[in-house]
Chain A
Amino acid sequence: MKIGVLVSEGPYTHEAADSAYKFVTAALAAGHEVPRVFFYHDGVNVATRLSVPPQDERHIQRNWTTLAKEHGVDLVVCIAAAQRRGILDENEAKRQGKDTDNLAEGFRISGLGQLIEMAIQTDRLVTFGD
């Protein structure tokens, strides 16, 4: 089955990004396809490469980055939600005159159309949120 995933809560405050990660890992292991995960609302905060959790805690962003590398999952961060919350890729940081970008490897910033497209092209859309 083709499954699309939406993450709509931020990391650490809420378990959504952890549950989504575990779900995607399990779905891939069971032979399903997960072509894309879309991050919306505070979910976009998962994508900051500047997150530095304590050593003995799970590293949510790094987990996702590894998953993207190993399984080719397309991690898409909503641009409108990301700009509100200060998640910028290199181009956007330049365009906005900021002194740094913070989008982690494996993620890309794009529009909400990517969420709708994912919902159209997959058999199921699974939301992790509040």
Chain B
Amino acid sequence: MSDVKKFLYVNRKAPYGTIYALESLEVVLIGAAFEQDVALAFLDDGVFQLTKGQNTEEIGMKNFSPTFRALGDYDVQKLYVERESLEERGLSEDDLIEVVYEDEDDDWAEKPAIRVISRAEMSDVMAEADVILSF
């Protein structure tokens, strides 16, 4: 295996209605075993994937949003959320679930993994990635 690459998973679709969000998360979970530098990006309707209080009972789908909270255990430490996408949908950071990771360089202190960034910053995040998987 070659050097560590920067993987960016770009999530642009709502969590339900299509299968993209769920199958994207499946790639992230499998990919975690490959010890690459992993980050997730949420923009457009993808920001709905991280909203609190999802209830899927009536649509017969599994609510997989709790799985995002486990990403810290998979050493996924960066979940970038685009501020403009939140605002365009009447959402703010307060509407999002909490995802934390333990920082091994800081005595395993729990730190928030979700980072709300601007559209311009999101473009930098994408430019720096070696591999972009867009769902």
Contacts and interface: CB of A to CB of B under 8 A. Distances in A.
Interface of A: 6, 8, 40-41, 80-81, 111-113, 115-117, 119-121, 125, 127, 129
A81 B34 contact: no
Contacts of A80: 23, 26
Contact of B30 (A41, A111, A120): A111
A127 B134 contact: yes
Contacts of A8: 135
A40 B135 CA distance: 11
Contacts of B132: 125, 127
Contacts of A41: 19-20, 23
- Most chain-B CB neighbours within 10 Å: which of A81, A113, A119, A129? A119
Contacts of B2: 120-121
B27 A120 contact: no
Contact of B133 (A113, A117, A125): A125
Contact of A40 (B5, B23, B34): B23
A119 B33 contact: no
B23 A117 contact: no
Contact of A112 (B19, B31, B131): B31
B99 to A, nearest CB: 21
A116 B26 contact: no
A84 B62 CA distance: 14
B34 A129 contact: no
B30 to A, nearest CB: 4
